[in-house]
Amino acid sequence: MLSKATEARIVLDALDESTTRSDVLAWIRDVLEADSFACQILVIARREENVESALQHWMRPEDRIGIQHDGINEDIRAFWWVSCQIDALKNCRNYSKLKWALNSLPKTLDWVLILLVGTYDVI
């Protein structure tokens, strides 16, 4: 699709959470090295060494904007905690199961993580 474009704007959100991060970074490199069209890419990711080291080859320092701070990390933790809670409640088909599940939810994300680890075999 990009081969027919004369210009493109691409937004990649949560690159740090990608399970195919190395493939995505290689794709970004290929897109930016192609001279056939003008391309602007907005990459949103937490600061991780492999992401930063790959991007620094293709970005000027003045084009980087750091937004890493504790407030964002806490927002991500809160979102993940709510997501885990919704997963726990989604199979409640009647009021009594829902009431039991609501009363049984872990009070903190740390307890969610402990429970999750307890459900997997640790090797």
pLDDT digits (tens, 9 = 90+) for 24-82: 989 888 887 877 677 788 888 877 888 888 888 877 888 777 766 666 667 777 777 78
* Predicted model pTM: 0.49
- Answer whether residue 105 is part of any domain: yes
Residue type, position 11, single letter = V
pLDDT digits (tens, 9 = 90+) for 84-107: 788 878 888 888 988 888 888 877
What's the N-to-C CA distance of the chain in angstroms?
Answer: 43
**Residue 12 and residue 30 in one domain:** yes
**What pLDDT is stored for residue 23 in this prediction?**
92
Question: Which pLDDT score, from 0 to 100, does residue 1 have?
Answer: 65
Domain closes at, from 63, 78, 106: 63
Q: What are the two backbone dihedrals, phi and then psi, of residue 68, each rounded to the nearest 5 degrees?
A: -70, 120
Domain range holding 99? Answer: 70-118
Report the alpha-carbon angle 116-122-123, nearest 5.
155
Residue with token string 């009070």: 107
